[in-house]
Structure 1
Amino acid sequence: MPAATPEHERIQQLIKDAPPWYKSPNLVKLYLLLIAPLLTSTAWGFDNSMTNGLQSINAFMDTFGHPTGSRLGFFGASMSVGGIAACLVAGPLVDRFGRRLMCSVGAALVAGMAIMETFSTSFAMFTGGKVILGFGAFLQQVAAPVLITELAHPKQRVTITSLYNTSIFIGLIIGSWITFATYRMESQWSWKLPCLLQVAIPAYQTVMIWFVPESPRWLVSKGRTDEARQILIRYHGNGVEDDIVAFELQEIIAGVEADKTVMKFSWEAVRTTLGSKGNRYRLWLCLWTAVGSQTVGGGFTASYLPLILDQIGMTSEKDKTLINACINIFNWVCAFIAAFVIPRVGRRSIFLFSTLGTNITFLIWTVLSERYIATNKVGLGVGVLVMIFAGSFFVVLCWVPLVIAYPLETVTTKQRGVYFAITMFTINVTAFFTTYVTPIGLENIGWRYYLPTCVWNVILLLVIYFTFVETTGMTLEEIAVLFDDQDDIFNAAVAAGKELEEKRDNHSYHVEDSVTETEKRVEA
């Protein structure tokens, strides 16, 4: 951790001593507005839930010819295909046009494709709708968490960012319980109704995102410093340019000025991104966090829980849809609690604890699966189900909230859109691979398909132990010092401070001056 100056220590103490968010009216308003981008992961969750749930509805499987093997694999992975395409273009678009536009466009695409799925006349049409829905969902996924991270007050930033990805379980819960409620319907609406109801949340986001302020960091990077200042004053200072607001603005400007990264499609961009040791380290952490989130073990139940339940004797429509619905509620509660625990515990410690716990439960799961297939004892099947819930607990404790929060806080303002697009691209490529091959592996070699994951989790644990850095208790700009030259950022901060002080003097930004002018008008 970089050496803290007395001024930094004073500001950090001011941040810690800041009033709770619910006692600041403008901060309450900001967080209510942020509900729109915070709900972004619901689209992914809703679709994953339906991917699971629809496989348990006879009317859906009858309508589309009971897909299996690679056909079913592409169905499960189709959203990731759209996500891969989106992540190739989303980073530059988010950095050029701002965070809000991509959130709105992506939400509109999700709503439109949900309608297309509802009235699909072939399996290819339904799967094609999922591909485009994935494109829209990941346009949002690249933009929304960046906007949230850059708007949240420093005191609540980690909690708010960690809460972001828990909304995936809101989508999973809604989707799974809807499919559980509709599977008894004696018509095509047993699968059409869940698809149609998927429209509601993205339609709300499409409109409401425009009431959310733009990211102050993006505004500063575009030379719109005064707009950024007004947003910080209004929401973080509750209408007053206090020391925390002044410090935030100074650090944002310093971070942008000190960052030599060029975010364009050019050789210079590649050189500044990969030529710096600090940037290579950032990219390493982003890539491993992305890959780990999709391979640590939770992917098996994310899209193919019915296949796993078939292997342990739980084959009825009611059992599979009910277990799918219950596990999503369990996961959401765990992830929600984790979002409030993570700011108080080291990020690296959470990563290690979660990955170790996941691997232990997964090993037990593998052994119990083999024994159940050999003996067909009901108790062993129940044991597998218990391990599914236990493994989910360890996965969502860390890999759901931190797959968003950790990459976002390790990169700079200039890099945040593009680096996070790279992170989401890696997530989609990895998710496509795991979701495509999983049904093939489970169908052909059964429980033995779990063995490579057990070995992989050990490798992942070693990577985390030896390379992941601790970022707890630091601002976004302070984290940059872990990777970059501290002198560059310090010099930029000094220069930014002088420039801001001159602007305050020239444009009468002092609070006392504003109060005096108000008093004069009242007396007049």
Structure 2
Amino acid sequence: MGQKIRPALALWGTRMGFMSYGWDAGVLGGVLETAPFQEAMQHPDTTTLSMIVAAFLLASWLGCCIVASPWSDRVGRRVWVLLGAFIQIVGTVISTASYSSGQMIAGRVIIGIGNGIVVASGPVYSAEITPVTSMRGPLVGILMGFACTGTALAYWVDFGFTHASGQVVWRVPVAMQIIWSLLTMALTWPNSDSPRWYYLRNRDDEGLSVLQQLYPDQETALKVQAEILKELREEKGEKLQLSNLIIDKTPTQAMRRIRDGVVLVGVAYLMGINMIFYYMTTIFQVYIGLPSTTSSCLSGAATTLLAIGVFVGSFFCERSGRRKWLLWGSASQSVFMITFTGLLAAGQKATSSAAAAMLFGWILVFSPTWAPLPYIYVSESMPLRHRHTGVGLSMSSQWLMAFLTVYAGPIAVANVGWKTWIWFAVFNVIGFPYVYFFIRETRGRSLENMNDLFGDEHLADGNSSSDDTSDGVKEIKATVNEA
């Protein structure tokens, strides 16, 4: 395939990959309690039902770990997106044809592996093919917006099919995931890989060819190439070592950046988002005590609100920066979650509407802040030589924490009731000091200038960096002219 890149087409490919993620995350939430699903799964107990839902998350963690492995950079960002989408299709076919809990769990595991690969590769691919720095954050952030849109659509489709009868009530919604994976493959296939990946693999001519398509002005393309090559020189020979996990004194602080990303994403997914959205209908119906039809409608409305909020937060994240959005979100979410927990503790029917309102308030704040911002931060803060590994490990943190909450959450609620929500309230509070002390502001910097933000004094010397880049542009331009 020729090195042709169509940024708009490639970006839409990753968006459809995240639509698939959202669909898989939400589609079972609206059908778990339906009679046809219960009959097909042979009336599973709470533990088995939790495993049916959570197997997807644990397998997604495995998919992310595959992408984060030392040899993953040899394959390329684009190929991983295609491979992940294909694996999802295989798993969806198995899930749709399931007539037992074991078969459904197997299908969900295969879907999860493919999903983990797509979710770990998509943000990297999107960030590295976005030519305008000020648009990188919004374009990566809206990936989570499409994931939330997928979840919302799945809930509304589930609601529509509750008026049907027979096995189509749940089989058709589950099968519809194939649509998003096929779109992911169709939109991604015609494009080349990221220019940064070509340079990482020492395929400089192909990298420059793609850069010249992203930046029609040759001077700009050459300048970006010089910055990429400079970044690779700075990172040359720097290996990831566990000894640098706590205190990283290496020039580019690669291990510290990966650690911060892993913890940031992990905290985000211990705030309760997966517990809320995987069991949204159950929370409204069983825990809060609302009628089934009202619970189903509220679930669709809540997921729609989440999707809208993520898009809003993604587009406005460049105005206030990453840190302010995260700090404001953590503080506000803590108030809503603590109040929600207190209302559940009251255990009175009169407080059910207030509890639902607090849950909506939490979603309203989480959606533009902690939903998209961790994705944006990890996709842009990682060093080039370890970007795929760093983002993969960060996303694996997401899936591991999500599995913990989705699998253990219902079991905990069945045993200790409202006290389970104290766990989530604690992590909403923890988010504030963690961001304040550990997360640096990455807004407005090119990917190649992140080393200056995290590196030591000689890397942070602005004049030296500028001179090096200028000399690099002249040298590369002279070479191109001679050729």
Same structural fold, with TM-score higher than 0.5 when normalized by the shorter chain: yes
Within the alignment, does 1:465 sit opposite 2:449 as a pair?
no
TM-superposed deviation, 1:381: 0.9
Identify the match of residue 106 of structure 1 among 84, 93, 102: 84
1:112/1:331 Cα in 2 relative to 1: closer, same or farther (>3 Å)? Answer: same
* Partners of 1:362 and 1:387 within 8 A in 2: yes
Which whole-Å CA distance do the structure 2 matches of 1:453 and 1:465 have between them?
Answer: 19
What code does the residue aligned with 1:502 have?
E
AA aligned opposite 1:358 = Q
Distance 1:136 1:148, change over 3 A: same
> 1:445: which partner in 2?
416
Partner of 1:116: 94
8 A Cα contact 2:64 2:116, kept in partner: yes
> For residue 294 of structure 1, what is the aligned residue in structure 2?
269
Structure 2: which amino acid aligns with 1:196? Answer: A
2:18 alignment partner in structure 1: 41
Report Cα offsets for 1:355-384 as digits up to 9, x if no partner.
Answer: 11111001111122122x2x322xx21111
CA RMSD of aligned residues (A): 2.2
The equivalent position to 2:288 in structure 1, one of 291, 301, 312, is: 312
Displacement of 1:44: 2.1
What whole-Å deviation, never above 9, does each CA across 1:171-191 have from its counterpart, x for those lacking one? 112211111111121111111
Partner of 2:226: 250
Greater shift, 348-357 or 212-221, is seen at: 212-221
**What is the CA–CA distance in structure 2 between the aligned matches of 1:422 and 1:73, rounded to whole Å?**
24
Instruction: Name the residue aligned to 1:337.
Output: 312
Aligned counterparts of 1:455 and 1:139: Cα–Cα separation in 2: 30
- Distance, in Å, in 2 between the alignment partners of 1:313 and 1:450 is 16
Task: Look up the SS of the partner of 1:295 in the other structure.
Answer: coil
Deviations 1:11-38 (A, max 9, x none): xxxxxxxxxxxxxxx99x5223310012
Give the whole-Å Cα distance in 2 for the aligned partners of 1:499 and 1:395. Answer: 43
Q: Is the 8 A contact 1:250 1:493 kept in 2?
A: no
Q: Give the 3-state SS of the residue equivalent to 1:54 in structure 2.
A: coil
Contact 1:56 1:320 in 2 (8 A): no
Comparing 104-113 with 78-87, greater Cα deviation is found at: 78-87
Q: Distance in 1 between matches of 2:98 and 2:169?
A: 14
The corresponding residue for 2:235 is 259
User: Could you tell me which residue of structure 2 aligns to residue 502 of structure 1?
Assistant: 475
Could you tell me whether the CA contact under 8 Å between 1:107 and 1:202 is conserved in 2? yes
Within a 5 Å distance, the mapping from 1:312-391 to structure 2 comes to 312-316=288-292, 318-371=293-346, 373=347, 375-377=348-350, 380-391=351-362
Superposed displacement of residue 489, structure 1: 7.6
Could you tell me how far apart the structure 2 residues matched to 1:88 and 1:43 are? 19
Give the distance between the partners of 2:482 and 2:308, measured in 1 at CA: 45
**Shift of residue 270, structure 1, vs aligned partner:** 2.6
Paired residue for 2:32? 55
- What one-letter code is carried by the residue in structure 1 that aligns with 2:258? L
CA distance in 1 between counterparts of 2:401 and 2:372 reads: 18
Q: Which amino acid aligns with 2:14?
A: P
Q: Which runs of structure 1 show a deviation greater than 3 angstroms over 4 or more consecutive aligned residues?
A: 271-277, 488-500
Gaps of 5+ in 1: 1-25, 263-267, 511-524
Q: What is residue 225 of structure 1 aligned with on the other side?
A: 204
Q: Which residue, 383, 395, 398 being the options, matches 1:427?
A: 398
**1:69 Cα deviation from its structure 2 partner:** 2.6
For 1:435 and 1:203, how far apart are their aligned partners in 2? 28
Contact 2:55–2:403 under 8 Å retained in 1: yes
Distance in 1, matches of 2:361 and 2:180, equals 30
CA apart distance, 1:313: 1.5
Match of 2:107 in 1: 129
1:475 is displaced (CA, Å) by: 1.4
Residue 154 of structure 2: aligned partner: 175
Deviation at residue 279 of structure 1 after TM alignment: 2.5
**Aligned residues of 2:333 and 2:365 also touching (Cα < 8 A):** yes
- Report what 2:187 is aligned to: 208
Q: Distance in 2 between matches of 1:226 and 1:497?
A: 20
Letter aligned with residue 507 of structure 1: V
Cα deviation, residue 451, structure 1: 1.6
Deviation at 1:84, TM superposition (A): 2.0
Conservation of the 8 A alpha-carbon contact between 1:408 and 1:420? yes
Q: Structure 1 CA distance, aligned partners of 2:209 and 2:359?
A: 49
Tell me the secondary structure at the aligned position of residue 448 of structure 2. Answer: helix
State the SS of the aligned residue for 1:51: coil
Verify the 8 A CA contact 1:117 1:126 in the aligned structure 2. Answer: yes
| Partner residue, 1:67 | 44
Q: Which has the larger radius of gyration?
A: 1
Equivalent residues in 2 for 1:137-216, closer than 5 Å? 137-153=115-131, 154-216=133-195
C-alpha displacement of 1:134: 0.4
> Would you say the 8 A contact 1:258–1:492 is kept in 2?
no
Please list the CA deviations of residues 280-306 of structure 1 after superposition, one character each: whole Å capped at 9, or x if unmatched: 421231122111121123232121123
Q: Rate the CA distance shift 1:170–1:458 in 2: closer, same or farther, 3 A.
A: closer
User: For the structure 1 residues 366 and 499, does the alpha-carbon distance in structure 2 shift closer, same or farther, using more than 3 Å as the test?
Assistant: closer
Among 274, 278, 284, the residue aligned to 2:259: 284
Match of 1:21 in 2: none
TM-score (norm 2): 0.92
Counterparts of residues 477-496 of structure 1 (less than 5 Å)? 477-488=448-459
Amino acid in structure 1 at the alignment position of 2:169: S
Contact 1:407 1:423 in 2 (8 A): yes
The amino acid that maps onto 1:56 is E
State how many pairs are aligned: 471
Give me the whole-angstrom Cα distance separating, in 1, the residues matched to 2:224 and 2:457.
17
1:415 is matched with 386
Q: 408-417 or 297-306, which moves further after superposition? A: 297-306
Distance 1:50 1:261, change over 3 A: farther
Q: Is residue 253–residue 493 contact of structure 1 (8 Å, CA) maintained in 2?
A: no
> Which residue number corresponds to residue 520 of structure 1?
none
1:303 & 1:213 partners in 2: Cα distance? 36
Contact 1:297 1:358 in 2 (8 A): no
CA contact 2:16–2:183 (8 Å) conserved in 1: no
Q: Which residue of 2 aligns with 1:95?
A: 73
Question: Following TM superposition, by how much is the alpha carbon of 1:93 offset from its aligned partner in structure 2, in angstroms?
Answer: 4.8
C-alpha spacing 1:186/1:251, structure 2 compared with 1 (3 Å): same
Shift of 1:495: 5.4
